[in-house]
Amino acid sequence: MKFINKLKKQLIAVLFCTAMVFLVSGCGKKNVTIPDSYKLNSDIFGILHTEIDEIAESHLMSNGICVANENTENSEVDMSLAESAGLFDVTNCETIYAKNVHEKLYPASTTKILTAYITLKHGNLDDIATVTKENITLESGSSHCGLKEGDQISVKNLLYGLMLKSANDAANVLADYVSGSTEEFAKLMNEEALLLGATNSHFVNAHGLHDEEHYTTVYDLYLIFQNALKNETFREICGSTSYTASFQNASGENITVEWENTMQYFTRNKIPPEDVTVLAGKTGTTTKALSCLALLSENKAGEEFISIILKSQDRGVLYDEMNDLLEEINK
């Protein structure tokens, strides 16, 4: 993982400089032989390569980040029809399950987690945005919340439409509101992702509709989701089963609509395992990304877990696989 490797390099550099100072200063009266070849697992600095790994991982864990350097699979968890999946104990900073968590994949509408995070960071919930014709020009069959040109709607309402209805029209409006255009918002998405340590991701739009240059990984999405969840407003929105939105149309008339969360754990079309409470989540589906889901759940001890699946074969399989992951959080 690039983030860990960067940290390890920084540690090595500090150790190397410290050693060189020791060798040169105060020891100038002696002839010092520096080894021809330097190996990380040698004791030249009194530290082993494995110890450097441990220091890097300890640094991440001390900042509340689960470390996932390799696959950590479980024969009791059936992920045969999912390309990538991860289960992260965010309370105890432990990776419980990992399958291909650093593989670059299309995120579909789970992209909207980052869109919401950025909007909450850079925007104001009470600000009013005006819907343009371009905002509502969407691909055929694209999910939306029914916005029309000229609508005057608050950022708060847009965020609920974004996360509950997975509305691509709301995503477009928010991108324009924050950055002035989709292109500028995408630049901000990539900057913010890097700040969160999501180094294997690249975004080109606010909604997640397919683009070859729009991708992430399960681990990067975990980093983004975990940071977004630190915002109580995000938690409230992402964990809502429904929301009543009010705004004005182009004629100044008041419009009131009810938006229902489309995630099956909230519609009760799928029931989580016993003693598991689903607190928040975001779905995503395109023909290329297939079925995706990011969840925040709680076990019977009150500990929180993030579980993510990307590129599952279909929606039914996706929720069965997610339940397999959720079975693990009470063990």
C-alpha to C-alpha distance for 171 and 109, rounded to whole angstroms: 10
User: Looking at residue 73, what is its pLDDT?
Assistant: 87
C-alpha to C-alpha distance for 234 and 120, rounded to whole angstroms: 8
C-alpha to C-alpha distance for 279 and 262, rounded to whole angstroms: 14
User: Looking at residue 91, what is its pLDDT?
Assistant: 97
Question: Which amino acid would we find at residue 183?
Answer: E
> How far is the CA of 294 from the CAs of 53, 90, 221, in angstroms?
28, 14, 8
Burial of 145 (0-12, 13-18, 19+ CB in 10 A): buried
Nearest to 23 by CA among 37, 11, 9, 33: 33
Q: Is 52 helix (H, G, I), strand (E, B) or coil?
A: helix
Is the sign of the CA dihedral 205, 208, 212, 213 positive or negative?
positive
pLDDT of the chain along its 331 residues, tens only? 444 454 444 444 434 343 433 333 333 333 333 333 323 333 434 444 444 444 445 545 557 899 998 899 888 899 999 999 999 999 999 999 999 999 999 999 999 999 999 999 999 999 999 999 999 999 999 999 999 999 999 999 999 999 999 999 999 999 999 999 999 999 999 999 999 999 999 999 999 999 999 999 999 999 999 999 999 999 999 999 999 999 999 999 999 999 999 999 999 999 999 999 999 999 999 999 999 999 999 999 999 999 999 999 999 999 999 999 999 999 9
Burial of 296 (0-12, 13-18, 19+ CB in 10 A): buried
User: Looking at residue 58, what is its pLDDT?
Assistant: 52
Contact yes or no for 83/103 (Cβ under 8 A): yes
Element (H, E) at 8: helix 2-24
C-alpha to C-alpha distance for 172 and 206, rounded to whole angstroms: 7
User: Looking at residue 173, what is its pLDDT?
Assistant: 98
Contact yes or no for 147/168 (Cβ under 8 A): no
Contact yes or no for 129/177 (Cβ under 8 A): yes
> How far is the CA of 252 from the CAs of 127, 151, 255, in angstroms?
17, 8, 9
